[in-house]
Amino acid sequence: MTSTVFDSALFRDMFGTAEMRAVFSDQALVGRYLEAEAALARAQARLDIIPDEAAAAIDAASRSIEIDYETLRHETEIVGYPILPLVHQLAKAAGEAGRYVHWGATTQDIMDTATVLQIRAALVVVDRDLRAVRAVLADLARKYRDTPMAGRTHLQQALPITFGYKAAVWLSSIDRHIERLAQALPRILLGEFSGAAGTLASIGTAGLEVQRLYCEELGLHQPPITWHVARDGLAEAVTLLGLITGTLGKIATDVMIMSATEFGEVSEPFVPGRGASSTMPQKRNPISSELILAAAKAVRQHVATMLDGMIHDFERATGPWHLEWVSLPESFHLTASALANAKFMLTGLVVHEDRMRANLDLTHGLIVAEAVMMAAAPVLGRQHAHDVVYDACRKAIEGGGDLADILAGTPEVMAALGGKDGIRRYCDPTNYLGLCGEMVDRVLRARPL
């Protein structure tokens, strides 16, 4: 029986992906433990701390061992950690060489290193999917570079923009996340081998060299000092996921609102039955966006948990470490889900350009009040132009008239803007798109690391 959305046959592919589950499965985690133990043996053999043949036997056993998971589970519950029970099985599988398994290490060395190895594999997936989302957003920004629509502030129409501009704003955040990920790797991908209190006393003067070779064997960075209780690297990893899903949540929110019947400017891809209602046949709910937003909100809570978990006591903590066991894998599952849904949703996004254009006319010209004000300002002065146009807007709102018609009845505006033709020109929202196109081009020319 399953108990959470992450292992539920019904929900697991809505809140994660098979690929990410494989990264954080029990089998993969135990495999990382074994990988770390074998790397430690190889590193120590290179320095003649343990015999070469012992390291070879341990390495071979780590690859061929058949784990008794029921025994491992039972003993983990007793010990509180899985490494001692696993070392028992590995040592037995290695035969005579088993006496050298886990030489000078402590449980957290192996568990932390395994976690980092998992994170490395998971971040490869995240980076790949971020770049895929980037490519889709770049296509949208390019295609709709000059497609006018209403820009909105405080949920009210503000000024005209283009849909390509909106997509480019989304894209710019994704670019920064790709850069953040690359820049964070040296801080996150640190090996851990420091011994019981982090001093490497169990190895003696060769400790730092063993640590260096251990990290080299695993392709990880050697830390300058133990990080048993300095958890900023792992907290940064989850915080990065919080930033990524935060951006995806913003995109999803925009799409959901723009999909509302009253807006009708975009629709999620049509798949028969997707987003259907059990009672309302007409419904086409934005399911992908809803899942993205849910993931973003859940990851945000894990970010807070990881930050809380940074507060460890003395040289080994009495509980905060365990929080990571919950928050790290769940954050990656949720991020994978959000990225997968974003790729699906954005790739097939239906853009209703005619509805965007129609919505620009909902306010009968009010959306370009700033354009009229700024055009009249050189003649009337900025404040007086504001007051005149403000009064015209009030009349349009209260009387329901068209702003251009009301302005045409204002002699000083007529004179300032060059008559009715000038007023019509300035009241056309497609003539007040600012530098939307140029900004889109700037974003498209940028290339993340």
Per DSSP, 139 falls in state H
Please, how many CA atoms are within 13 Å of residue 295, restricted to the half-sphere of its CB? 39
User: Which amino acid is it at 100?
Assistant: Y
In the chain, DSSP finds a helix count (H) and a strand count (E) of: 18, 4
Buried-exposed string 257-275: b where 16+ CB fall within 10 A, e elsewhere: bbbeeebebbbbeeeeeeb
What span, in angstroms and rounded, lies between the C-alpha atoms of 312 and 289? 37
Q: Can you tell me the distance from the alpha carbon of 99 to that of 448, in angstroms, rounded to the nearest whole number?
A: 49
- Beta-bridged to residue 161, according to DSSP, are 149
- Spatial separation of the C-alpha atoms in residues 193 and 199, rounded to whole Å: 10
Tokens of 348: 């097939």
Question: Does the annotation mark 386 as catalytic?
Answer: no
| Closest listed residue to residue 107, CA positions, set 202, 24, 186 | 202
Distance CA 391, CA 406 (A): 10
Map residue 160 onto helix, strand or coil: strand
CA distance 233 to 231: 6
Is residue 384 part of the annotated active site? The answer reads no
Question: CA-CA distance, 384 to 150, in Å (whole number)?
Answer: 26
CB 73 within 8 Å of CB 126: no
Identify whether the C-beta of residue 126 lies closer than 8 Å to the C-beta of residue 336.
Answer: yes
Q: Per the residue annotation, which of 8, 25, 62, 154 is the catalytic one?
A: 154
160 and 360 Cβ atoms separated by less than 8 Å = yes
Which of 25, 74, 277, 322 is an active site residue? 277
In the DSSP assignment, the letter for residue 149 is E
Sign of the four-CA dihedral 164, 167, 172, 175: negative
Q: What are residue 251's DSSP bridge partners?
A: none
Provide φ and ψ at 190, rounded to 5°. Answer: -105, 130
What are the catalytic residues?
A: 154, 277
